[in-house]
Structures are given as structure tokens and as C-alpha cells.
Chain A
Amino acid sequence: MRRSLALSSRWTAILVVISALCCLFSPAISVKHENFKTCDQSGFCKRNRAYADTAAGTNNWEAPYRIAPESLSWKNGQLQGSILKTVNANGETVRLPITISFLESGSARVVIDEEKRQKGEIELRHDSKIRKERYNEAESWAIVGGLDLSKTATEDRGSAKSHVKYGPDGKFEAVITYAPFGIDFKRDDATQVRFNDRGLLNLEHWRQKIDKPAPETKEGEEPSPTPEVPAGEDESTWWDETFGGNTDSKPRGPESVGLDITFPGYEYVFGIPEHAGSLSLKATRGGDGNHNDPYRLYNADVFEYIMDSSMTLYGSIPFMQAHKKDSTVGVFWLNAAETWIDVIKEKEAHNPLSLGIGSKFETKTHWFSESGLIDVFVFLGPTAKDITKVYGELTGYTALPQEFAIAYHQCRWNYNSDEDVKDVDRKMSKHNIPYDVIWLDIEYTDDKQYFTWDPLSFTNPTGMLEQLDQSERKLVAIIDPHIKNKDGYHVVEELKKKDLAVHDKGGGIYEGWCWPGSSHWVDCFNPAAIKWWIGLFKYDYFKGSAPNLFIWNDMNEPSVFNGPETTMPKDNIHHGGWEHRDVHNINGMTFHNATYQALLERRKGEIRRPFVLTRSFYSGSQRLGAMWTGDNQASWEHLAAGFPMILNNGIAGFPFAGADVGGFFGNPEKDLLTRWYQAGAFYPFFRGHAHIDTRRREPYLAGEPYTGIITQALRLRYSLLPAWYTAFHEASVDGTPIIRPHYFQYPSDEAGFAIDDQFFVGGTGLLAKPVVTEKAESVDIYLPDDEQYYDYFTFEKYSGRGKHNIVAPLEKIPLLMQGGHIIPRKDRPRRSSGLMKWDPHTLVLVLGKSGQAKGELYFDDGETFDYQQGAYVHREFEFRDGVLVSSDIGVNGKLTEKFLRCVKSVGVEKILIVGAPKSWEGKSSVKIGGGEAGLEFHPEEGNKAAWAVVRAPKVAIGEDWKIEF
């Protein structure tokens, strides 16, 4: 208690200081909390939480849901039947069809619907014309495969339970209990995941509104709680709901769905981005260090968001992993409506039936969404890699980006003119700072009308794009979903004429406010709208665009300045008669998708990998491009927050992620900016960005020593691009995150489970811990094993499980190489990644304790889809017993040979061996086939490892070869 008191007073002091600072430097920087709902202000959240409290507070609580055994049928790996929900004391029930599918991939899926709504036997209020069913199309947006039913699953039905064996070698089992309904998912006979363990299953069945004589309430007065409501049925949040001056008409009444999911034996849960907080999710029902509100998923444009919060942000991925020593399991809650997730962590499982091995801990989660189906996938691992793979089979893997997209992006709101862009471009070259992409925020348009250029300041976009193209650089321009409502603007006129916009509850075209003022929103749920949108990007339509112009989709939550919670009213209507309520969290992805489709082929026959950055996202967005963490701030706290957020996104299937380097709001001090570039060099998506009111901060403006240090960080990124690209390739084929947290790489090492400020880069064995604190002189880096580690820059040695101190003055990035890996690099600095294409590689052999090393390299043309026909190089390098071998691990295709011919001149210029054996002392050459190459050996010096260099081995990167040491 005293501790917490002391803590809180310290917090108060910090807050005072912070707020004082804020007052000094800028208008108060903090999220406008009152703009966003707390659980208590969200009707269904309040109801479901109350339901959970009632259940917990009731002795022998029995959930009113049971399976009607006679309804069950098993076919082809699928169990179908009905759940009966008892709705009143008279025992009346409603029928809820349930389908449990066991999939070939080893995952299981449980879908629960409501018969009455399914059949349309309900009445809508307010003469609404919307659909009567629960939204059942989330699958068509999020899921792209992996739904094949298991051919080997078997059902064993009993009178009270049904047992289904499934999964690899039948090691998984689902035990379905009829009454009350519940499912235990087991792996190797141990329960890993339980449904309805706490009896919180809740599917609000349709009911008619019975108008009671409303108690007289004077205008402006809070309606007093009506005493005559039957106990347990608090109707106060069932019907029209008002927040922030906007009333939601809720024509279908209350329709939320909820379910508790327990992970017996699991202490850690990760995932469900996007939130600004730690990788390891916290408990959400109050208490010291915990959150008070559930984690919320309701995509929103949160202005100046705060740290360490369960508050919602711009995107949603309702996918969670639970982890304990040597086991990871996961659930995917496929629902596009507003969703909240309560997390409770308990030590000592109180449930005696819990069969989890060593079930000292138990994490209990409670998921509820405002509408739609209960549709949950369960993954039983046993590794995190298994889970991200299976999840990726369902929702798709990360699109393999064009190579430039993983290089450095220079952005600012705004570069003021085409001349300004050209000037920055020249200056970057002049200062020898590599960059690939320069960005334009909204000001490039003519009066915020997308697909136009400001006629005064962007008079020659083509000339600008041509200059960029000379050094293979690109331009990204912003295009948002709000279309300015202005007479004579061809885009809005077509949008209206073709009726492709989102509608309001009355059926008219919805009008709201965003950057351009009065605007309409293109409804990308509508296939016709997508088709139209694709047409807008053709070069002859979007005048001034060119093949090296790519797109940034912002504000696609959607952000509506005058809407409730800065977004659309929930009773707006989308294509197909679905309410915005049903589809909100998917909305951003549909817009991102339309733009992706548009960039595929802007000119007939010119098919390129699109690059589209999105702010809003959902499960599946990884197929379409990159995301960034939105409008952060130039503060050390925000710098530190970046990695946990990016790691969380990565394990949730969307690893192409980054935070704005430098911080969007505010002016970073030079040391902060420098540290941010050092951190950004490890963001999968690496972009510097700045608010319009901030001072210019292009890297060359910082001055020495900062500019030099920043350039080193940028060049580090560029020299490691072959390794990054290889990691992106891996993510694109099996969903493995690009930067990987400790629990993911070392599932047995309990001390590492909560670590989220250091990580591994792909499979390279690079362990990075960029400095994210002010005035740091050193960092403590944690080593998860006893392997030999080396400082990346100096080859200083570190070994032994546990923490090691690395001295890290401003110019130093704490970056270690783990023994046992081979890292591909390209060390020649160029203006852009495109100009590095023909440069030779450097291979870094980092020898481990065993004296062996292994690594991979993947590359292709970095631009087209030819790699799908084999136009790529995929090599494995292995060093053992004094021999380094390069072997092909790709699969040949139609275009393989052509590509290999094309890259024949690309070779290996140098092989660096870190931790070279002493026995090489005196050795001066290595054997390569018939010839040889020089070897230079440098003995150990103090704590610095011995190293050696193979000079110009003259081997081609795409060919088989062998080097004998």
C-alpha cells in the first residue's frame, strides 16, 4: 500500500511536470478522453461486464445455454446442431444454430448464429431497411483460405458430451459439453483452451421493444433509472443510445454476443492489436498496474493517444496468443463490430477440474462484440510459429513488398511544392544519405480533392517524378476515403451519380466532415465501388501520376470529424444493407483493398506489386501493404512505445509495421531524433514523418554529429536490406514475424516472455536493443541462451544467459550477432536501394560455440510478381567442418533460368568470419573449386573476437559453390 502510495505521488509529480511542460511547448498534448467511450458508456460493454459480474457473484451460476443433443449431426469434420437459450423463468427457449468445424490445418472453428434473425423473423424499428440477419460476411473479407475441413477428425458422441479427435496425428481433442454448453480444447490430453468455462456465453436474442409509459423526464435531465425493470434485465441500454450528441437508433435492438475463453496454465497473453502498451497484455479489471477498462477494438482516429492504455486505436486484429513454457495457443475472434476483451490473470487455478500441466496460472478472457456472429477459431500450437502459420493460412500472409518499400521513407506534412520535393531529393543525395521514397501529405491536392494537384504549388508533378526516378526513387501521395463534396469536382460527381457512397440511416448519401470540409465516403464494400476506384488510378485519369507514384491511405477508420467518436454513426448503411455497426472494424481494410487492387495494373500489361500504407486495419490487411502506428509524439515515451506495438502487430500476422520516426507531433530534440533513427532502422516499415506545425527535420538538417550518426543508422539499414528482404520473404510464405519477440524465438525461456524492448531480426540471429531512453550511456541486453554473441560493429564478445551491459553512447546502436548464423549484406552505399541491385554481397559468418553457422538469402527483381513463377534466388549458406556451401533452396519455375541469367554478374565480394578459429592463424588462402582466394586472419584482441576475411571469392550469388577453409 505504501509502495503504491509512493508510486502514485511520484506519478502525480510526473504528471504535474509533464502538464507544465505541455503548457510551455504546445497546447495540451493528451488524448481527448471524453471523446471516446469507456466501457461504462458503451451499452453492450456495460451489459456484458454486468453479466460477468452477476455470474461471478452467483453461487453455482449456470449459463442458460445448452446443446440439444438430438440436434447434433457430424459430417466431414463438422459438427452441427442447435443451442437452446433459456430466455425466461418459464423455460422458454430460442434456438441458436451452432457449427463446429475441424480444419485440415489443425484449427477448430465455432460459429453460433440466431435462428430467428437468420430467417428474417424479426421486426426492425424506425422502419429501417437494413438486413435482419446477424452480419455473416466478415469471413469474405478476412479469410482467404485454410478452411478445408479435416478428413481425419472423428467424433465420439456421448449422452452428455461429445469428443472430437482432430489435428496432426489426432493429438488435438475438443470435448463439447451439452449442458451448460462448453468446449474444452485439449492437446496431448491437457486442456489448453476452454469456452464458456465461466458461463459468460451471451447472445442477445431478438426481442420486440415494449413501450412502457416512460417516466416523466424533463429535457436535459438525466433519466432516472426506472424501478419497474425486471431484475437482471436492465433495458436502459437496449434501445437508442446517445453519446457525444449523436443518437444511435439501433433498429435491431440489443444484439451483442459474448463468450469467455480461459487459458488454463497460461500466464501470458499477447496480440489483439492495436493498443499503446506492452506486448504482454495486462489484466483489465483494475488493480495495481492493471487497466480498468477492457481492451477495446473499435478503429478510431484517436488524437494524441496516450501510453499504456487499453483504449482503442486505429486498427483491430482480434487475434490473441496465450503462452506458457513450451506451449503457445491462440484464438481468433472473427467479428467486425465494436469488440472489447476483458483479461483476468489468476495465480493458482481455482478450478479443480483444470488439467493443465503445472497450472499455476490461469488467464481468463472475456470477449464481446456489439453485433454479428460468434465466430471463433482455436489454435493449439504448440509453438507460436505454428500458430502464426495457421492464422496466416486463414487470413493471408504478408504481401511480399517491392524492395523500395522496406528501405527508408522520407515524409512530412507537407512538402510544400514540387520544387520543395526536388530540393529535398537533391539534398539527400548531396549529403550521401540514402532514401527511397519521399511522401506527400494532403496539401499537394487542389483544395483537398484527391486525384488532383495544387495548381499553384505542384505545377509539374511529372517533372518531379522524373527527377526522383533518375535515382530510382519513388513518391507516395496520400489518398483518403473522404471525397470532397463540391460542385464540379469530377470524383464526387461520379461517386454520387453512380451511388457508390456510404448511406445514412435514412438511405441518403451520408455527409460528414473531414479534411476537405463536407465530404462523402466511398463504400468499398460495394464491388462496383472497387471497380470505379480502380479506374481512378489509371495514369490517364490521375493526371500527373506515374509508375513510381504509390499511395498512402489515411483516415480510413473512417475518421469523420463531426461523427460520434470521430467516426461514422453506427446506423449508417453500407452496400448489401449492412449497418456500419456490423462492419466498422473491416471498413478500413476494404478501402485499403480497393487501393491495392487499383495499383496492381495501372496500365494494361504493367503489373506491379502495389505499395499502399494504411492506418486502419483488420485481420487480412497484411495482404495489402504496410501499416504505421498513427499519430505519435516526439517524446521518449513514444519512442519506447514503438517496439511493443510493432512486435504485437507482428505476432498478430501484420508484421509490415512501423512508427513515425521523430514523432509526428512536436519537435524532437536532436538526441531523440538520432535515437529514433537508430530505432527506426529496425522497424519493418521505416519512415520519418512530421506534423505541419513542426520544424523541418530532414536528416541533413540536424548538423554534426547528429547527421553523421543518423546516416550511419540509415546505411546500416541499407546494408542489411538483403537480410530484411529475406525476412519479409519468410513472413510472406509462413507468417513468421519480421522482428520477433523473445517468447516467439525462445518459448522455453520464461525470463524472456514479457520482454518487448529487444528482439530478433528475422532469422538472422541479429539481436537488437535500440536505445529508447534519454541520456542513456548503456543498456542491459538480455541473452536467452548460452550461445556466443558478438557486438555487430566491434566483434566484442558476450555470452551467458542473462543480462549484459552494453556501453551505448549516442553513436552506438546495441546490436548483437548470435553465433551460428550467416548474415547477407551489401556494403556499398548508394543513393537508393534500386541502385544497389547489381552490387556484390558480403556474407558475415557468425560462428557459434559449435563452430558452425547457417543462413539464408532470398531476392528477386523486387518489383514484379515474376517471383511467383520462380524468378528469384533463394540460397542456403551453411558452414560446418571448415566448409562453406551455398545451395539452392528455391523451387524452380518458368522464369527461374531467365532470372538467374539476369543476376549472373551479382557476386559475393567478401566473406567475413566472426569468431574465426585460432587454427586459421597463418592460413592465407581458401579453396574455391579449382581456384583459391586470399584469407586474412585477425587474432583475438582482448574481448574482441578473432575474425577473418575471405578476399574476393568471385563466386556468383545465384550459383552453387563451395569454399574450403
Chain B
Amino acid sequence: MASAPSKLYADDVSLVVVLLDTNLFFWSSSSVSFSQFLSQVLAFLNAILTLNQLNQVVVIATGYNSCDYIFDSALDLNRGIENGRMPAMSSSLLQKLEKFLIKDEQLSKEEPEGRIKSSLFSGSLSMSLCYMQRVFRSGALHPHPRILCLQGSPDGPEQYVAIMNAIFSAQRSKVPIDSCYIGAQNSAFLQQASYITGGVHHKPQNLDGLFQYLMTIFATDLHSRSFIHLPKSVGVDFRASCFCHKNTIDMGYICSVCLSIFCKHQKKCSTCGSVFGQAQSEVASASDKKRKTPET
């Protein structure tokens, strides 16, 4: 469904949904401390709200087992700003974050060994898209939304299908997904998300200056992006995960009906149920194209 036309008030009104990675496994082994990171993010959020009276910010925390909203500027700031906006915003955000982290930890069960300690990125991405649908359907004039992902955890291949579905849905609603990766390796999911939806992906070199990166690149409103040089994607990692074992694969088998990817030859497609033909010999079997084409 095409998104409702968003009439812009001024050209630079923005609605930013920030997906904050709070995965404890990542932050306990990261070079920069979570409190330093959070103070820079809070200043960045305040800067966005300062830019225009009509700007809105929503923060969703991405935990290890769950995700939740921890801040919505439209709700929280209607109360008086007697003490100044920053203290009110920070205190409300930090309180909710603390409650969320406690809840998230309680949900941890026994995990099988060897699972990559990734955060529930697919969950928070879906939550933000639901929020945006609510904004679209409210019917009133609204600014054009975008998503900013601050991720450090590695990618979890078991979330591949959910994340790709969310990315295509964002593409259809014309919502750009910006991503800022603060972990050690590269994140294929974030690169693909920004590439497909037309957002910006960047991996800052120096995490002490995160605020400057955020201000320079990610605070740019959608209208100004057509005039400003922004980091272009150098090479995007398009590797997919197989649907059966959730491993990342380069070459595999694809169902010709529903385009699901499998690493080994199957008799029947698990997604659509179509029966495959007889197995061909290894030499003769042509490996199908390894890239999954986006559904439109």
C-alpha cells in the first residue's frame, strides 16, 4: 500500500525513529562505554528537536530478547519545560531504559551454545514500521519519517527473513533507513537496509566523536539530502541466509515458485509446499543464481 502523501510543513521537518542497540553482550565487550555513547545520543536527539519546533523523535530500544519504546517526544514534552527540555527528556528516557533492561534480562532463557549474540533488530524494525503506519493513517499533516539504526551487535542470520521483509516494506512506504554501525565487523543487514531503502550507511572510525558523525551525516533532513554529499555505499554485502538452517551462504538452491533459498537440495519447499523435481547429478545441476531478487 503506498504511503499517504506527507505534506511537508517547512522543507526540513523530520520524524526520526531511533533504534538503539542495548544488547548487553555487545556493550560489555565494546571499547566505548554505554554511558558515553548514550550521552552523545541524547545530545543528538536534543539537537534534532532544537532544529525545528515540529520535529519529532521516537526511540526504540533493541534488546537481546525483546524491544520496546523508551521515548516519544510528542508525548513527553507536552508537559512543561520548566526545568529545561534536556533534563526532562533525559530522565524520562533513562527511567524507561532501565525498566526495559531489567525486563529484557528476565526473559533470557538457556541458549544453545554457539548462537551469535545478536540483538533483536528485526523486532525493533517492525515496531518502528508499525509506528509509522499509525502516523500515516492518522490523516493529519505529518512530516516524512525516517529510521536511524544505531547498531553494534553482529548480525543474526536467523533474523534474515524477517529483516528482509521489513526492509522491503520500508522501501514500499518510502521510508529511508539510515544505519550507523559501531561494532567491530561489518553488518550486512544494515548495509542492505540502507542500500535498498535509499538511506545512508556509515561506520564511524572514531567512536569518541560519535556526536559529530551523527550531526554531520544523520541529522540531515530528507529534503537537504539532495544537495549534500553523504557517504556512499562502497560495496554492499548481499549474502543471504538459507531458510532451513539460517546459515549465511553464497551459493544455494532456490525454489522457482516462491524464491526461498536452501543450502541443500530439498524434496519439497518448506515455504510454499511445491514439490521439486528429481535431484540432478552434481555436475549437471546448475547452481541457481545466488542472489535473491527483491520482491516488488
- Chains A and B come from one and the same complex: no
Please report B residues at the A interface, Cβ cutoff 8 Å.
Answer: none
Please report A residues at the B interface, Cβ cutoff 8 Å.
Answer: none
